[in-house]
Amino acid sequence: MFLAITFFIGISIIMIFPIMSQAQSEEKTFVTHTGAVVKTSGEIIDPLYVVSTVEFDPMNYLRDFNYGRVSELSDGTTLREYTIIAEDDKIMEVSSGVFYNVWTFNGTVPGPTIRATEGDLLKIKFINNGQKEHTIHFHGIHPAGMDGVFEPVGGNGGQFVYEFTAGPVGVHPYHCHVMPLEEHIVHGLYGVFIVDPKEERQPADEMVMVLNGLDTDFDTENNFYAANTIPFYYQHHPIQINTNELIRIYVVNMVEFDPINNFHLHGNLYKYYPTGTDLVPSFYTDMITLSQTERGIMEFEYQYPGKYLFHAHKVEFSEKGWVGIFLAKENLDTQEVNYGS
């Protein structure tokens, strides 16, 4: 009788949690960023949903801008159409042997960098293929019904079209705004929305850095920090830039749980445009401090070739992954530049 009950309970657990059992027993062997071969126990943190791998390359993300599908309306207005699909069932390897249940926009954390010019009409078709309700809340100026707060979109294929005129000029975050908000953000439902001025900014090697934190043990404290999700990535894979070429970084702080973050640049200072809404820089500095969703545009160029660190001057954050290197190569001809990512 006892054996029968035990057997019945065992079968019930397997029937109720088949994916969880499978996820936790899966071992993996892989090569780390530094080339070491590591074998994990197979433990996957938060194995709540179907396991699938998320391919994310921070180097590609850095300079990848989504301008949408472009057409022109009869009045001459530029229409840009985008599709963003939310999912909440991905498992992503964020560091050697560390797996995290990420909630994604278009399959990545952060989601795509949406880019438009001030005055363009934007249509963003949002499809929620997740299990939970999600939205997209864009920072910026738009009608109340397009704010992504009071229009939760149901999972398993729910849809909504956000339609508004791009503005103001600057760099803005977008993120899911469904409660509990902290949970939806810290799992990864956010991205960057850049609105360019009609008269273009000076040509530059442009890149996006989203500062984020990863709470891998769900105690509402971050275990890892990063620029663009993968801790230490740009330290092990330095970002190649050219000397005597303008570098423009759109930086957005999406760290939850910690009240501040910051960005310190070595061997240089940068012009800083808070939120990017003013075309005149407010500071010339090597250190900015950012609270949640604070953001801005940094501009600088290196005169001398070599390796330069950039990192959080909140040292705990840099020691837990928010650190990287610029590798400045000699560039004698500033007209012909090779971004060399």
Q: Which is nearer to Cu ion, 176 or 252 (CB)?
A: 176
Q: Which two tokens stand for residue 114?
A: 């949406």
Binder among 122, 124, 166, 178 for Cu ion (CB under 5 A): 178
Determine if 142 is a binding residue for Cu ion (CB under 5 A): no
Q: Which two tokens stand for residue 289?
A: 């401090």
Pick the closest to residue 84 from 101, 66, 100 (CA basis). Answer: 66
- Binding part of the chain for Cu ion, among 9-17, 19-27, 182-190, 212-220 by CB under 5 A, reads 182-190
The DSSP-derived string for 113-147 is EEEEETT-EEEEEEEE-SSS-B--EE-SS--GGGS
Q: Which is nearer to Cu ion, 257 or 304 (CB)?
A: 257
Q: How far is the CB of 184 from Cu ion (least distance, A)?
A: 3
The DSSP-derived string for 284-337 is EESEEEE-TT-EEEEEE--SS-EEEEEE-SSHHHHHTT-EEEEEEEP-S-SSS-
Q: How far is the CB of 189 from Cu ion (least distance, A)?
A: 5
Q: Any bridge partners for residue 117, and if so which? A: 196
- Binding part of the chain for Cu ion, among 171-179, 240-248, 298-306, 329-337 by CB under 5 A, reads 171-179
Q: How far is the CB of 89 from Cu ion (least distance, A)?
A: 13
- Site size toward Cu ion (CB under 5 A) is 5
Angle, alpha carbons 149-150-155 (nearest 5°): 85
Q: Which is nearer to Cu ion, 124 or 328 (CB)?
A: 124
Q: Any bridge partners for residue 267, and if so which? A: none
Q: How far is the CB of 145 from Cu ion (least distance, A)?
A: 18
Q: Which is nearer to Cu ion, 87 or 206 (CB)?
A: 87
Binder among 62, 114, 176, 298 for Cu ion (CB under 5 A): 176
Binder among 80, 90, 134, 314 for Cu ion (CB under 5 A): 134
- Residue 118 · residue 76 · CB < 8 Å: no
Quote the DSSP letter at residue 245.
S
Determine if 94 is a binding residue for Cu ion (CB under 5 A): no
Q: Which is nearer to Cu ion, 180 or 259 (CB)?
A: 180
Determine if 177 is a binding residue for Cu ion (CB under 5 A): no
Q: Which is nearer to Cu ion, 132 or 172 (CB)?
A: 132
* Residues 6 or more apart whose Cβ sits within 8 Å of residue 279: 169, 197, 201, 273
* Residues 6 or more apart whose Cβ sits within 8 Å of residue 302: 241, 243, 244, 247, 267, 268, 308, 326, 328
Q: How far is the CB of 176 from Cu ion (least distance, A)?
A: 3
Residues near Cu ion, by CB under 5 A: 134, 176, 178, 184, 189
